Amino acid sequence: MITILINTYGYVRVSSREQNGDRQLIALRELSIAEKNIFTDKQSGKDFDRPQYKKLVKKLKPNDLLYVKSIDRLGRNYEEILEQWRILTKEKRIDIVVLDMPLLDTRRGKDLMGTFLSDIVLQVLSFVAENERRNIRQRQAEGIAAAKARGVKFGRPSKALPDNFEQIHRKWRRGQLKLQEAADACAMPVSTFYAKAMQFEKNNKI
C-alpha cells in the first residue's frame, strides 16, 4: 500500500503593518499546525506583493491541506480570490479549509455535485467580501468628507511661519531680494516659500 504524505499549512495576511495577525494565528495554532508551516504576510494597502504566500504555494504538493481564517485572505478582490482558489485546487490539487465558513472545505463532497456546490458558495462569498470592502471604503470617504465639511483638518499640521517671514516677504515683493534669496533667508525651499507667500497675501488681502 502506498502511503500519501499530507502536509498541513496555514496562511495569515494582515492588510497593513499596524494590524495584528494574532486572531488568525490563534485560530491556526488551535489546529496544531506546525509553526514552520504557518506563513504570514504583512503589507500596506498599496502593495500586494506577498512573498510568504508565494513561498507557501511553491511548497504545496497534491493532497496537502491549507487552512485560512477567512476567504478574503486569498486576494484583494473577487477576481483575485477566484483565481487563487483555482490555482490552489485545480493546479496545485490541494484541499482548502476556510475556518470562518465551514461550507468551504474541499475535503467534503469530492464528487461532481460537491465540487459544484463548493464553487458556487465560493463565488457568493467572494462577491460579498469584495462588496463589504467597497462599502467600508465608501463609508470612510463619506466620513472624511463630512469631517472636512465641519472644518476638521487632515494631514500634517502646517508649520508656523518663521519670525522673519513678513519682513523677508516685504523685501522680496519690493524687489530687494530675489526669490531664491528670500527662500534661503526663511530656510525654505523656493516652492514652499512661494506657496507660503501666496497664502500669506491671500489671508492678509495684500
d(CA 110, CA 29): 27
Specify whether the CB–CB gap between 81 and 124 falls below 8 A: no
Q: Which long-range contacts (CB under 8 A, 24 or more apart) does 107-110 make?
A: 107/65
Q: List phi, psi (to 5°) of 45.
A: -65, -30
Closest by CA position to 73, among listed 94, 43, 109, 46: 43
Cell numbers standing for residue 116: 459544484
Specify whether the CB–CB gap between 59 and 9 falls below 8 A: yes
Specify whether the CB–CB gap between 59 and 88 falls below 8 A: no
Whether residue 15 lies in the annotated active site: yes
Catalytic residue among 15, 32, 44, 158: 15
Cell numbers standing for residue 105: 472545505
Residue with cell 472624511: 144
For the annotated catalytic residues, the residue numbers are 15
